[in-house]
Amino acid sequence: MTCLGTSVPPNVVSIAGIDPSGGAGVLADIKTFSALGAYGCGVVAALTAQNTQGVAGVYTPPVEFLRLQIDTLFADVPLHASKIGMLGNAEITLAVADRLAHWRAANVVLDPVMVAKSGDMLLGRDAIAALREALFPLVFIVTPNLPEAGALLGGRMPETLAEMRRAAERLREMLPTTTPRWVLLKGGHLPGSHLTDLLFDGDRMIELSARRVDTHNTHGTGCTLSSAIAALLPQCAGHPSPVETAVRTARDYLLRAIAGSGALAVGHGHGPVHHFHAFWPHPPAPSHC
Ligand SMILES: Nc1ncnc2c1ncn2[C@@H]1O[C@H](COP(=O)(O)OP(=O)(O)OP(=O)(O)O)[C@@H](O)[C@H]1O
Ligand SMILES: [Mg+2]
């Protein structure tokens, strides 16, 4: 089930952090947009000093400069979707929400990044309330992992499929109820040979399961999935079930990117997924040399 193939590529922006190793954040998002037929734009909400092993430091830009980045971009470029990732602190979160509301941003995909794959904290505690109160009203689909779902709901992380279902229902109640909104609760943190994500719109609970790929190269899986959804939502608009199709297509792309990650050799920790697995021949074709 795919939905690629609209004639004019959609413009999609990532508002997130910079991970210099290129496995997560804005750099990974731009690779994902590009691989999936969308034109990628990027607004830098945070700079990190980071590699595949951990985060050594975080610098957030002055909030006025962040606002200027968003306003300057949106004043010129029609954006068909916005992916929101690492925001760093409450002040940045509130500013992003304010500017997205001002520009009536469409197809807002919120990946509520709180902790890096290495375990380093990426969001201040005060920002979780700002996410819930200021950003949730603007969100079309929110994509927490299990610890993030626990933090957003003010409790512990869901540990069973039944607890995941209940968490997805409660998260959906935190989004506006008058228009279609979606929760994608990612089950990657539960052990087992299969992983299950739950997609819920307040009515249908869709179980999306896949076999776990046995690899350490899972740096940026969450960033890649949410940016794939943002790239695909505008391209699936004419489909009978656009959101389910965009999410299924995005998961399929991510699974292939994880499975293809062994072709890369990047760092000594959690390596990146292979965003261009469908494009790069290995070994390189003679014409590339
Ligand atoms: N080893 C794996 N094999 C297959 N799919 C995986 C694997 N690890 C994660 N996924 C899938 O990747 C997606 C992201 O899930 P995950 O729970 O890792 O998100 P995350 O914790 O937000 O990631 P990140 O640490 O990059 O922010 C989900 O669809 C999940 O099912
Ligand atoms: Mg994540």
What's the pLDDT at 126?
82
The packing angle between helices 221-232 and 242-259, to 10°, is 140
Catalytic residues: 186, 218, 220-223
* Residue 56 Cα to ligand 2 middle (Å): 18
Residues in the chain: 289
Residue 58 predicted with pLDDT over 80: yes
**DSSP track, 193-239:** SEEEEEEESSS-EEEEEEEPP--S--BTHHHHHHHHHHHHTGGGTTS
Dihedral in degrees, nearest 10, Cα atoms 122, 161, 189, 137: -20
Residue whose Cα lies nearest atom 19 of ligand 1: it is 222
What's the pLDDT at 124?
73
Strand partners, 150: none
Percentage with pLDDT > 90 across the chain: 87
Residue 5 predicted with pLDDT over 80: no
Residues 183-217 pLDDT 10s: 999 999 999 999 999 999 999 999 999 999 999 99
Where are the domains positioned within the chain? 11-288
What's the pLDDT at 286?
66
d(CA 233, CA 229): 6
Question: Greatest CA span in the chain, whole angstroms?
Answer: 56
Q: Who has greater pLDDT, 118 or 274?
A: 274
- Give the SS3 label for residue 46: strand
Residue 3 predicted with pLDDT over 70: no
The two structure tokens encoding residue 141: 């689909």
Give mean pLDDT, residues 132-161: 95
Give mean pLDDT, residues 123-129: 84
What's the pLDDT at 120?
73
The answer to whether 169 and 159 have CB atoms below 8 angstroms apart is no
Residues 225-267 pLDDT 10s: 999 999 999 999 989 999 999 999 999 999 999 999 999 999 9
* Residue 287 Cα to ligand 2 middle (Å): 38
What's the pLDDT at 1?
44
Q: Which of 48, 84, 195 to mutate to test the pocket of ligand 1 (most atoms within 8 A of CB)?
A: 195
Q: Is 132 in the pocket of ligand 1 (CB under 6 A)?
A: no
Q: Who has greater pLDDT, 7 or 240?
A: 240
d(CA 242, CA 244): 6
Q: How many helices (H) and strands (E) does the chain have?
A: 8, 9
Residue whose Cα lies nearest atom 16 of ligand 1: it is 188
* Residue 218 Cα to ligand 1 middle (Å): 7
Strand partners, 184: 199
The CATH fold assigned to 11-288 is UDP-N-acetylmuramoyl-L-alanine:D-glutamate ligase (3.40.1190)
Q: Average pLDDT of the chain?
A: 94
**189 CA closest ligand 1 atom index:** 17
Residue 289 predicted with pLDDT over 90: no
> Residue 275 contacts by C-beta under 8 Å, 6 or more apart in sequence?
28, 31, 32, 34, 35, 224, 257
The answer to whether 194 and 247 have CB atoms below 8 angstroms apart is no
Residue whose Cα lies nearest atom 23 of ligand 1: it is 222
The CA-atom distances, in angstroms, between 160 and each of 143, 147, 189, 198 are 18, 13, 11, 12
What's the pLDDT at 25?
97
Residue 12 predicted with pLDDT over 80: yes
The answer to whether 160 and 196 have CB atoms below 8 angstroms apart is no
Characterize the bridge pairing of strands 55-59 and 39-50.
Answer: antiparallel
The CA-atom distances, in angstroms, between 85 and each of 124, 199, 223, 227, 278 are 14, 19, 7, 9, 25
**113 CA closest ligand 1 atom index:** 27
Give mean pLDDT, residues 262-286: 90
**111 CA closest ligand 1 atom index:** 22
**Among 79, 10, 16, which Cα is nearest to 232's?**
10
Residue whose Cα lies nearest atom 11 of ligand 1: it is 188
* Residue 85 Cα to ligand 1 middle (Å): 15
